[in-house]
Amino acid sequence: QLRYISHYPDATNDDVLNAIADTYGMDKHQIIVGNGAAELLYAICIFQHARYSANMIFIK
């Protein structure tokens, strides 16, 4: 419904990234968030393919 379009989440995810970074004492640039497991798994594959290494913390 168009009347709720102003409630669409921030595309940069700044609020959630800052909250996670503050909670775990990390820099927000060390954190990735996504729209679900499939998107995050795809991102991991892209990172591995590009030969980047990353430490990941999985939050339930």
Asked if 60 and 52 touch (Cβ cutoff 8 Å), the reply is no
Q: What is the pLDDT of residue 23?
A: 96
Q: How far apart are CA 3 and CA 1, in angstroms?
A: 6
Bigger pLDDT: 34 vs 60: 34
11, 38, 50, 59 from 15: Cα distances, Å: 10, 22, 28, 16
Model confidence pLDDT, tens digit, residues 17-51: 999 999 999 999 988 888 888 988 888 877 776 66
Q: How far apart are CA 33 and CA 16, in angstroms?
A: 8
Asked if 54 and 47 touch (Cβ cutoff 8 Å), the reply is yes
**Sign of the torsion angle spanned by Cα atoms 57, 41, 60, 24:** positive
